[in-house]
Amino acid sequence: MKKLLSYVGDKLDLSYFQNKSFDEVFTEEFRTRILSDETGGDRVGWRGWMLGDGAVWYDGYRDSFSITAFNFTKATSSEETPAAWKIDNKYLTPNCFVYMSLSGDNYEEFFDTYIENPGTNHWNDPRFHDFYINIGTYLNKEVPLNHTIKTGWPGNPEMSLTKQLEGCLSDKPETYIKRTTKYGGWEFVEKYEVIKSFDLKIGKELAPHINKNFESIKQVTLTQDGGGSIGAQRHSTIYGVLELNGEKVILPLKNLKRNY
């Protein structure tokens, strides 16, 4: 496992592999997908090369080589329940988490509303990088809690960095959902797994302007997969749950890495 992960590029979040054996991560079904690929690797434009119909993505030039993505979704069924987040005898579902969309439009809109529209590519502005990574330091300061932005976007007319837990909880562990978008009929899978729990004292460090105590802080890996050759998109984020105005909410406190 250590040798294999030494080929992984620095943009890939490795938290998923923590405390897992090789066989736990790379199942027999996953290995079969790789070994049965007779192409030896297909080049897919700017995305690089893939093996096993998108099971592994990699890139390289001459003597350099790096793995850029693993796509485990086909080896995971809806019957599996990775570590779920439990609050008041209920469980968080994938609908509870706010994370950056594939296009990044949602965080760009948050930045434009609460900080400033840079008038150029957001990723060229170091302020946007800090806003995205250290989002917790902006909460209850530049970003009001429980504030909603009216976007007018089809399928997502409003959004907020404060997510109410009411309406997204389940009576049983439900870390995997499959649905079809209202616009375009695009079917995709969303799932999450709790990677790590933190001492609640870290809340003051990650969100220094929130004068309330968090009741739970965890690192979560979220996966969204719409199928196709591009593979799954993964996010690693630290979230915190607390009570605001008598209602439980969940907030993103720090975005660690995303892998597209």
Q: Specify the pLDDT at position 131.
A: 96
Q: Specify the pLDDT at position 87.
A: 94
Report the percentage of the chain scoring pLDDT > 90. Answer: 44
The H-or-E segment that residue 183 falls in is none
Helix, strand or coil, per DSSP, at residue 81: coil
Mean pLDDT confidence for 110-125: 94
Taking CA atoms, 80 is separated from 16, 152, 174, 193, in Å, by 16, 36, 9, 11
Helix, strand or coil, per DSSP, at residue 114: helix
Q: Which is more confidently placed, 115 or 76? A: 115
Which amino acid is it at 85? W
Q: What is the pLDDT of residues 185-244, one digit of tens each?
A: 556 678 888 888 999 999 999 999 999 999 999 999 888 776 555 566 788 899 999 999
Buried b / exposed e along 76-92 (16+ C-beta atoms within 10 A): beeeeeebbbeeeebbb
> Rounded distance, CA 108 to CA 162, Å?
16
Q: What tokens appear for 69 in the block?
A: 């993505």
> Rounded distance, CA 163 to CA 132, Å?
17
Give the pLDDT band of residue 81 (cuts 50, 70, 90): very low
Write down the pTM of the prediction.
0.68
